[in-house]
């Protein structure tokens, strides 16, 4: 008896049958062993990072090289169909608008700054319309925001860049938001930034071509694959060159941006004297604990000013300032211009 079934090797009546994947269901995962070419389309939005594009595509290119054949094929599309301006000032060529992605098995949305502006209502509408045509849909960095705004991640687990996790969770309560490096959920996948995108692509290569090929690709980039569930930032020691006590103090500061503790309280929590903590910070960072903590809070305020529409008073509270006026004074001293300079006029 002859029987064909997609994506398997089966034995009937003592005979083996080779089963081909060309007829594979749209719901079958792309994260499974396969010898077939996987075609992908990257929708790259303006103000994306070139590093995130490279982190997504270069592991696939390297996999093709190590395999000696084309296992991955890709095209780049953009909202306008024209070249995409990236944050570094380079324009990335595109093969056409989103509809040019049709025919690919997977669609990956890469977005960075100002996603709320560049992901227009027509683009979101087209994403919703075309989504059923892909076996898998992913988002890199703010790409998760775009998928969520299109309504594609409802009921799914997802992640975005760690700086945006709180806002993302508040804006999309229908999504289970996690701080992992990358997430696979049903036919959707999301990654928190450039380095997690590399981890995600290495996971894809491992799933399809095996651990040996994935390790060869990782070695090409002098990196080590990191698991999906690992946090995007490691609280205990964000930089191995830092004294671990300084790293622990920084982790406490990052966790308390909205309610900063005094340097004396930080020192006490680490069983250090305030003087010793200040010595360690000056040796490792050239700053006092207070100055470094203030810089963290001001950078967070700056990001919220450029990437969100939150009122200045709310931003002040979320970054540990007692009022908008207090934030304005500190911000102007640090950056030479008031917070209002980062907000569009009108």
- Tokens found for residue 330: 């500190």
Residues in the chain: 346
The stretch 310-329 carries a mean pLDDT of 94
List the CATH code of the domain at 35-220: 3.40.50.880
Nearest residue to 138 (alpha-carbon basis) of 124, 152, 120, 149: 152
C-alpha distances out from residue 261 to 103, 172, 265, Å: 54, 30, 6
- Cα 169-171-175 angle, rounded to 5 deg: 50
* Phi and psi at residue 285, to the nearest 5°: -125, -10
Distance of alpha carbon 89 from alpha carbon 85, whole angstroms = 6
- Check whether 297 has a pLDDT greater than 50: yes
DSSP character string of 108-175: EEEE-TTHHHHS-HHHHHHHHHHGGG-SEEEEEETHHHHHHHTT-STTSEE---GGGHHHHHHH-TTS
User: In the block, which residue shows the tokens 């687990």?
Assistant: 157
Task: Render pLDDT for 82-126 as a digit per residue (tens, 0 to 9).
Answer: 999 999 999 999 999 999 999 999 999 999 988 988 999 999 999
Please tell me the pTM assigned to this model: 0.79
Q: CA-CA distance, 307 to 88, in Å (whole number)?
A: 17
Alpha-carbon gap, residue 168 to 74, rounded angstroms:
29
- Residue, of 164 and 345, whose pLDDT is higher: 164
For 189, phi then psi, to 5°, come to -145, 145
pLDDT band of 303, cuts 50, 70, 90: confident
Among the listed residues 107, 87, 86, 112, the one whose alpha carbon sits nearest the alpha carbon of residue 97: 107
| 113-117, 125-129, 273-277, range with the lowest pLDDT | 113-117
* Matching residue, tokens 């696939």: 60
The one-character DSSP state at 69 is: S
- Of the candidates 172, 214, 177, 316, the one whose C-alpha atom is nearest the C-alpha of residue 258 is 316
CB 57, CB 46: distance < 8 Å: no
pLDDT in tens, 283-294: 998 999 999 999
Q: Can you tell me whether residue 223 is helix, strand or coil? A: coil
The pLDDT of residue 96 is: 97
Residue ranges covered by each domain of the chain: 35-220, 244-342
Rounded Cα–Cα distance for residues 339 and 346 (Å):
15
Which overall architecture, per CATH, does domain 244-342 show?
Orthogonal Bundle (1.10)
pLDDT tens digits, one per residue of 36-71? 999 999 999 999 999 999 999 999 999 999 999 999
């Amino acid at each position: 008896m002859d029987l064909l079934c997609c994506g398997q090797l089966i034995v009937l009546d003592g005979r083996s049958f080779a089963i081909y994947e060309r007829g594979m269901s749209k719901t079958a995962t792309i994260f499974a062993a396969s010898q077939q070419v996987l075609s992908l389309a990257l929708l790259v939005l303006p103000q994306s990072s070139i590093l995130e594009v490279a982190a997504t595509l270069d592991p696939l290119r390297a996999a093709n090289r190590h395999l000696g054949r084309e296992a991955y094929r890709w095209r780049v599309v953009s909202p306008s169909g024209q070249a995409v301006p990236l944050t570094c000032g380079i324009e990335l060529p595109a093969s056409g608008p989103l509809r040019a992605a049709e025919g690919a098995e997977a669609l990956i949305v890469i977005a960075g700054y100002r996603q709320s502006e560049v992901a227009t209502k027509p683009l979101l509408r087209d994403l919703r319309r075309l989504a059923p045509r892909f076996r898998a849909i992913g988002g890199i960095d703010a790409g998760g925001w775009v998928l969520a705004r299109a309504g594609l991640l409802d009921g799914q687990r997802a992640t975005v860049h760690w700086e945006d996790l709180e806002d993302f969770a508040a804006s999309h309560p229908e999504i289970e938001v996690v701080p992992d490096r990358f997430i696979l959920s049903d036919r959707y996948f999301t990654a928190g930034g450039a380095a997690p995108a590399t981890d995600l692509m290495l996971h894809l290569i491992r799933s399809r071509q095996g651990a040996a090929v994935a390790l060869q690709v990782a070695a090409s980039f002098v990196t080590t694959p990191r698991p999906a569930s690992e946090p995007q930032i490691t609280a205990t020691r964000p930089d191995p060159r830092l004294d671990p006590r300084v790293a622990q103090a920084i982790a406490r500061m990052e966790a308390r941006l909205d309610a900063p503790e005094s340097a004396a309280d930080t020192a006490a929590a680490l069983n250090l004297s305030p003087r010793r903590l200040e010595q360690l910070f000056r040796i490792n960072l050239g700053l006092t604990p207070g100055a470094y903590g203030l810089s963290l809070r001001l950078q967070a305020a700056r990001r919220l000013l450029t990437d969100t529409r939150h009122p200045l008073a709310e931003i002040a509270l979320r970054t540990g300032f007692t009022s908008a006026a207090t934030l304005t004074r500190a911000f102007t001293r640090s950056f030479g211009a008031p917070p209002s300079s980062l907000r569009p006029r009108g």
